[in-house]
Amino acid sequence: SAVISQKPSRDICQRGTSLTIQCQVDSQVTMMFWYRQQPGQSLTLIATANQGSEATYESGFVIDKFPISRPNLTFSTLTVSNMSPEDSSIYLCSVDGGVRTGELFFGEGSRLTVL
Amino acid sequence: LAKTTQPISMDSYEGQEVNITCSHNNIATNDYITWYQQFPSQGPRFIIQGYKTKVTNEVASLFIPADRKSSTLSLPRVSLSDTAVYYCLVGVNSGGYQKVTFGTGTKLQVIP
């Protein structure tokens, strides 16, 4: 199994500012995924981060708004840029590192509130 | 990616068996079916995964008919701690990398 730590666990931010969320994994993994979960909603994949290459973004998400770094096999960051109240969500980091085929492990999430 | 459809919510009394069915009519040949559980303020947690027929582990059973267009998660004798949102996912596994889409999920409320 993989243990994932996210920082911050929660934050309150002002409109127009940017916040960087960190994701640390206790083992080396190839792929890391960033999800957004809006209040009362399901999870939506933002992007896939492969070490050593540019992140791949899903439809509706762009690099300028959600820049991602993946400097090594155990760490990634997601920045939420120029935040608005609509960005208030839980942001989750995930890795595909299970022994089982395709099992995903998730962090506890970072709950952002934008005022 | 195959879309999934599952009931928005379900209620069950403690001690009962709960069956949550998920529809995935457009499932592809290479797709696996996976179920996750999510408690409030936590990330989703893997429950069970299958490709066809029946899979059972210490937590649940997963029933998949021959046409694989649906699947049923079975939770035996639920307790209050099983109150959570349950997600059915289908996705392609390729060398350990699985890109999946989360559906709406089923909010299970276990009643004393």
Q: What does the pLDDT look like over B67-88, one tens digit per residue?
A: 999 999 999 999 999 999 999 9
Tokens describing residue B13: 């009394």
Cα–Cα distance measured from residue A70 to residue A79, given in angstroms and rounded to the nearest whole number: 12
- Interface with A, mutate which of B41, B85, B86 (most A CBs under 10 A): B41
What's the distance, CA B29 to chain centroid?
19
Q: For every residue of A26-64, which 3-state class applies, written as one string?
A: CCCCCEEEEEEECCCCCEEEEEEEECCCCCEECCCCCCC
Q: What does the pLDDT look like over A71-106, one tens digit per residue?
A: 999 999 999 999 999 999 999 999 986 655 568 899
Partner residue facing B49 (CB), from A43, A96, A100: A100
pLDDT at residue A54 in the model: 87
**Which single residue is written with the structure tokens 């995930």?**
A94
Q: Is the pLDDT of residue B91 over 60?
A: yes
Least Cα separation, residue A108 to chain B (angstroms): 5
pLDDT at residue B95 in the model: 47
- Interface with B, mutate which of A43, A93, A105 (most B CBs under 10 A): A43
pLDDT at residue A102 in the model: 65
Higher pLDDT, residue B30 or A11: A11
| Interval B84-108 mean pLDDT | 79
Strand order in the sheet with B18-23: B18-23, B70-75, B61-64, B53-56
pLDDT at residue A14 in the model: 97
pLDDT at residue A2 in the model: 86
Q: Is the pLDDT of residue A35 over 90?
A: yes
**Residue from A1, A60, A72 nearest A35 by CA:** A60
The size of the A-B interface in CB pairs under 8 A is 61
Q: Label residue B105 left, alpha or beta by phi (over 0 means left) and psi (-120 to 50 means alpha).
A: left
Q: What are the φ and ψ backbone dihedral angles of A27, each rounded to 5 degrees?
A: -150, 160
Q: Amino acid identity, residue A34?
A: W
Mean of the per-residue pLDDT values of chain B:
90
Q: Is the pLDDT of residue B97 over 70?
A: no
| Residue-wise burial string across B72-81, b where 16 or more C-beta atoms lie within 10 A, e elsewhere | bbbbeebeee
Decide: B75 and B83 in contact? Cβ < 8 Å: no
Decide: A58 and A45 in contact? Cβ < 8 Å: yes
Q: Is the pLDDT of residue A56 over 50?
A: yes
Find the range with the poorest average confidence among A5-9, A41-45, B89-93. B89-93
pLDDT at residue A30 in the model: 84
| Interval B3-19 mean pLDDT | 95
pLDDT at residue B3 in the model: 83
